[in-house]
Amino acid sequence: MAKSLVIVESPSKARTIKKYLGRDFRVEASSGHLVDLPSSSLGVDIKNDFKPKYTVIKGKTKYLENLKKASRDAEKVYLASDPDREGEAIAWHIANRLDLWDKVHRVLIHEITEAGVRDSMNRPLEINTDRFESQQARRILDRIVGYKVSPVLWKKVRKGLSAGRVQSVALRFVVDREREIKNFKPREYWTLDALVKRSADPDADAFTASLNMFRGKKAKIENAQQSEDIVSALSGKDFVVGEIEKKERKRKPLPPFITSTLQQDSSKKNRFSVKKTMLVAQGLYEGIELGSEGPVGLITYMRTDSVRASDNAVAEARDFISKNYGGGYVPKRPNTFKVKKSAQDAHECIRPTFPSRRPEDLKKFLTEDQYKLYSLIWKRFIASQMTPAVYDQTRVDITAGEAVFRATGNVMKFPGFTAAYEEATEKEETSNTGKNSKRDENKRLPELSKKDVLSLLKLDPKQHFTQPPPRYSESSLVKELEEKGIGRPSTYASILSTIQDRGYAERQKGRFVPTSLGFSVNDFLVEGFPGIMNEEFTARMESDLDRVEEGEVHWVELLRGFYDGFSKSVTRAEEEIEGRKLEIPTDIECDKCGASMVIREGRYGQFLSCSAYPECKSAKDFTRAEDGEIIVGKKTDPEICDDIECDKCGAPMVIKEGRYGQFLSCSKYPDCKNPKEFTRQDGKIVIKQKEAPEVREDIKCEKCGKPMVVRRSRRGRFLGCSGYPKCKSTLNLDKDGNVVRKATKAEEA
């Protein structure tokens, strides 16, 4: 009897699945997409209902031939590519290219465990044509935008630029935020705190109360004079306890992770980039070698917008909680969470495949990064099925003449879900109201009674200024994109990478800052293509693509509706919109001629240049303060690490800022060029040790036949020949580690 053939994307996924299926199945990997639009042309017949011209991706013919040979004698072919639109497209193209429609079955594997794989194989489906057409519509849509808009950018801004339908909107968020920071006008305000204690008890603890009301109105102190007037009015007044309110407050657990919330929490807690989070999660999903047990998928599929979990997983989590935390931590009924209206809800949440597998039990099998991410996913899921945290909250009003001060205390009564997990927060920031947004969950007040007289130990007036909104971090930009409906779970990582790779924005101290090129490209696109740069339009397009997947809208109809208005915008932009100079105006005067200075891009980054150039060639270095203010002068001296010596010349290493963040450099640079990556552990600088490159025995060099190895560059991972430097052959890799052809700059859009 001929073996059934199972086709997945990656070799690692193939190895894990093969272990569960046994001898009756042959498992092969396609190494990602095999077919795509051509790299050298638009590849879309717009006049003929947007008919795509698909070609085999360069370097993928051998994979296609291997699958053709393997499927020839197979009685059944199971296409088990990832359970999303991209996976559906891979499955459709394989079935179509190899003409497998009479024996093909679609298998959706949401968790790569023995039970998960066998259950999926026992419930095969047909290829979802609507889902494939949704992916096809997105691919054609993005190809049209890239091929039509990029040449306009070359003409109006600079050669070699490219635009993207979704990435350009993300860039607009970054640019608009930078301008909001620059135009922000600080507003002065004051607060007044009173340090008090019970007069009748000399051993009583002092506590702080803040001014809440004054003369019957909400306290609002706008300047020093008002502050002095209130302090003067309180002179000699008795501080007496008024209303006391005590109540129990509950804080419910958060839902388990979806893609966007995982990316946000991993950025905050693990300091992982969005791209790194998804790469590590892919490995946890496809399978980790657990000793004699072999490869096992440790988490469910990581591209999802659903918070739903299977009944079996919930039951296993509740049983684990009861045994390890106690019955009081298990709610009477399982916790359920509302799925947002825009969610496709095609998959479960991101959760451990076996809730009983604690992170510490698996640590010896995981890399440091895998352990950190698995721990985060495991803790969040376990916590999601626990009881709320319970606090005793006390609010005390204290009268003093015409003023009312208020003190609030919170004491944890029962930890509930916080015993397993605490939500990550952004670096503590001050909002425009001047109040710290972080809730103090454990501030205890002394026992007080109504009419108790308090001793005033200190009145503490403080001046504050409202702060501008912070620049976007990776986590906050992902949150903004999700809330506005821009992109989908599978696209966030590429969106953030693309705006940096193209030089439109760079990260400074973990925050996105637009470059002068980013400003110029954004401003031109906003004026020339208001449709594709409009967040509401982009979000509506995402919803329409979802409707294609649901069979409510035909993909050709969707593209027609888009292209009619878009083609007019292209013509208008070419003929009517003026070009953009690659510079940002400032209000700084040139100290040589008095003209205004502008920010320009140079070989080594941004600098200040006289707007009268070339008549005046004045140029200066500059830095930016946290609020975006430009500070003229050289960048601050690098931090010297006296305890770390250069392994080439023995000189001390120093910390410098580069385009891609901080790094260690020899203090004798440029005489000694020896850069190193580093991390901070317990406050100490530790040089990152380079890992041995991963050898891909399954992929041979097309030039010399030697195995390819995974290498890294500033643009991400790629495959290089193990015979380097004698053989310099390279191949590109996609987000899943699969080989892809090289794209032109216009197509990258």
- Supply the residues annotated as catalytic: 301
Distant-in-sequence, close-in-space partners of 436: CB < 8 Å, separation ≥ 6: 428, 430
Asked whether 79 and 108 are in contact (CB, 8 A), the reply is no
SS (H, E, C) 158-204: CCCCCCCCCHHHHHHHHHHHHHHHHCCCCCEEEEEEEEEEECCCCCC
Distant-in-sequence, close-in-space partners of 632: CB < 8 Å, separation ≥ 6: 588, 608, 620, 621, 622
Q: How many CA atoms lie within 13 A of 598 on its CB side?
A: 19
Distance of CA 616 to the CA centre of its chain: 43
CA gap 287, 299 in Å, rounded: 9
Q: Which long-range contacts (CB under 8 A, 24 or more apart) does 597-606 make?
A: 599/516, 599/630, 600/516, 601/515, 601/516, 601/517, 605/659, 606/515, 606/516
Among the listed residues 74, 76, 92, 94, the one whose alpha carbon sits nearest the alpha carbon of residue 84: 92
Cis peptide before 614 (omega within 30 of 0): yes
3-state DSSP assignment of residue 156 = helix
CA gap 473, 671 in Å, rounded: 35
Please name the amino acid found at residue 371.
Y
Asked whether 573 and 564 are in contact (CB, 8 A), the reply is no
Among the listed residues 469, 426, 472, 546, the one whose alpha carbon sits nearest the alpha carbon of residue 169: 472
The conformational region for residue 313 under phi > 0 = left, psi -120 to 50 = alpha, else beta, is alpha
The token pair that represents 358 in the structure block: 């604690």
* Site of tokens 């892919």: 282
CA gap 565, 568 in Å, rounded: 5
Among the listed residues 358, 482, 465, the one whose alpha carbon sits nearest the alpha carbon of residue 420: 358
Give burial (CB, 10 Å; 0-12/13-18/19+) of 574.
middle
The token pair that represents 293 in the structure block: 């047990």
Across the chain, how many H-helices and E-strands are there?
A: 17, 35
DSSP for 86-130 reads HHHHHHHHHHHHTT-TTTEEE---SS-SHHHHHHHHTS-B---HH
Residue ranges of alpha helices (H) inside 656-725 are none
Q: How many CA atoms lie within 13 A of 165 on its CB side?
A: 28
Which H helix or E strand runs over 289? Answer: strand 288-289
Which H helix or E strand runs over 652? Answer: strand 652-658
Phi first, then psi, for residue 337 (nearest 5°) are -130, 145
